C-alpha cells in the first residue's frame, strides 16, 4: 500500500481556510452517511483559527460528531494559551458547539496525574477517528511531539496508549497529547501549513531518512494524508 501524502497548494490563506473547512465537512458527512457517529480531532495554535471558525458554521449533524483536541497545554480553559480557549472562540462559536466535546485537560493537579483520567476517557471513544487535523511548527513538531521532551523516544513504542504527558524542553507549559498510535488510528489525516519557512521544513521532513516528529505521519502507510499549504 502506498499512501504517499498528497500536497494541495492554495494561492492564499483565505482560500485554504475555505477549501480545508469544506473538505473536512465533506469527510464528516460521508462518515455520517454510513455510520451513526463520526469524530474529529483538531489542532490548536493560531494557524487553524479561521479555518475552524468556518468549519464550526457548517450545517452538519454536530450532535453525532465527537470532537477533541490533538493536544493541549495543561492550563485552565480560560487561559489565553489554552487550545480549548481557542476552540471556544472558533469552532465552538458556531453550530459545532452542539458536538460532543471531550477535553484532554481535566481537574488533576498536574499533567502526570491527569494523563490517566484522560486515557480512560479516550479508551471509551469509538475508534478509528474519522478525521485528524494537524499543524506543524517551524521545528517540525506536530501535536505535542517535541524532540527535546523526555517522553519523545517512547512515543512510537506506545502502541496501546492513546495519550501521553509531555514536558517540552524549550516550548512553554506541560502538555497532554494524543500519541502517534492514536493519531494513526484514524481514517484520514489533514495537515495545515502556512508560509515558505514551514514549506521548506515540510520538504525536509518528507525526505526518506528524515527524523522530524511530523515525519512519523508523513512516512507511515496506514492512513491517507492530505497536506494543505498556502504562502
- Region of 31 on the Ramachandran plot (φ > 0 left; ψ -120 to 50 alpha; else beta): alpha
For residues 159 and 189, which has the higher predicted lDDT (pLDDT)? 189
Q: 218 lies in a domain?
A: yes
pLDDT single digits (tens) 68-121: 999 999 999 999 999 999 999 999 999 999 999 999 999 999 999 999 999 999
SS3 state of residue 16: helix
Asked whether residue 1 is assigned to any structural domain, the reply reads no
What local confidence, expressed as pLDDT, does residue 94 receive? 97
In the prediction, which pLDDT does 51 show?
Answer: 98
pLDDT at 18: 98
Q: What does the block give as the cell for 54?
A: 468556518
Strand spans (E) along 70-186 = 71-73, 100-102, 131-134, 163-166, 175-178
Q: What is the mean pLDDT of residues 208-228?
A: 96
User: Taking 60 as the threshold, does the pLDDT of residue 1 lie above it?
Assistant: no
Give the tens place of pLDDT for each residue, 4-50.
Answer: 999 999 999 999 999 999 999 999 999 999 999 999 999 999 999 99
In the 8-state DSSP scheme, what is residue 82? Answer: -
On whether residue 152 sits in a domain, the answer given is yes
Within a domain: residue 49? yes
Is the pLDDT assigned to residue 3 strictly greater than 90?
no
Structural domain including 36 reads 6-230
pLDDT reading at 215 higher than 90: yes
How far apart, in whole angstroms, are the C-alpha atoms of residue 98 and residue 213? 33
pLDDT at 2: 63
Distance CA 139, CA 136 (A): 8
Handedness of CA 57, 62, 63, 65 (dihedral sign): negative
Determine the pLDDT at residue 156: 81
Q: Who's near 124: CB < 8 A, 6+ residues apart?
A: none
- For residue 51, tell me if it sits in a domain: yes
Across the beta sheet with 100-102, the strand order is: 6-9, 225-230, 189-194, 131-134, 38-42, 65-69, 100-102
In 3-state terms, what secondary structure has residue 59?
A: coil
Closest among 65, 64, 19, 71 to 45, alpha carbons compared: 71
Domain count across the chain: 1
Summarised one tens digit per residue, pLDDT across range 43-53 is: 999 999 999 99
Which CATH number belongs to the domain containing residue 116 in this structure? 3.40.50.1360
Q: What pLDDT, in 10s, does the model give residues 138-188? A: 999 999 999 999 999 999 888 899 999 999 999 999 999 999 999 999 999
Q: In the predicted model, what is the mean pLDDT of residues 121-125?
A: 96
Amino acid at each position: 500500500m502506498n499512501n504517499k501524502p498528497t500536497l494541495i497548494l492554495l494561492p492564499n490563506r483565505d482560500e485554504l481556510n475555505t477549501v480545508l473547512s469544506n473538505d473536512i465537512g465533506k469527510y464528516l458527512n460521508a462518515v455520517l452517511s454510513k455510520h451513526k457517529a463520526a469524530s474529529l480531532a483538531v489542532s490548536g495554535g493560531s494557524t487553524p483559527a479561521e479555518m475552524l471558525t468556518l468549519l464550526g458554521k457548517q450545517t452538519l449533524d454536530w450532535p453525532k460528531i465527537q470532537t477533541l483536541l490533538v493536544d493541549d497545554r495543561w492550563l485552565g480553559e480560560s487561559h489565553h494559551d489554552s487550545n480549548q480557549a481557542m476552540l471556544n472562540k472558533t469552532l465552538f462559536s458556531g453550530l459545532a458547539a452542539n458536538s460532543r466535546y471531550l477535553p484532554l485537560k481535566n481537574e488533576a493537579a498536574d499533567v502526570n496525574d491527569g494523563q490517566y483520567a484522560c486515557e480512560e476517557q479516550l479508551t471509551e471513544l469509538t475508534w478509528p477517528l474519522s478525521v485528524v487535523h494537524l499543524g506543524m511548527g517551524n521545528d517540525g513538531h506536530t501535536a505535542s511531539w517535541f524532540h527535546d521532551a523526555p517522553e519523545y523516544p517512547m512515543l512510537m513504542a506506545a502502541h496501546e496508549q492513546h495519550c501521553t504527558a509531555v514536558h517540552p524542553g524549550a516550548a512553554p507549559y506541560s502538555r497532554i497529547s494524543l500519541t502517534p498510535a492514536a493519531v494513526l488510528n484514524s481514517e484520514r489525516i489533514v495537515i495545515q501549513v502556512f508560509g515558505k519557512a514551514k514549506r521548506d521544513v515540510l520538504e525536509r521532513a518528507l525526505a526518506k531518512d528524515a527524523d522530524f516528529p511530523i515525519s512519523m505521519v508523513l512516512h507511515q502507510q496506514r492512513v491517507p494524508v492530505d497536506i494543505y499549504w498556502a504562502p
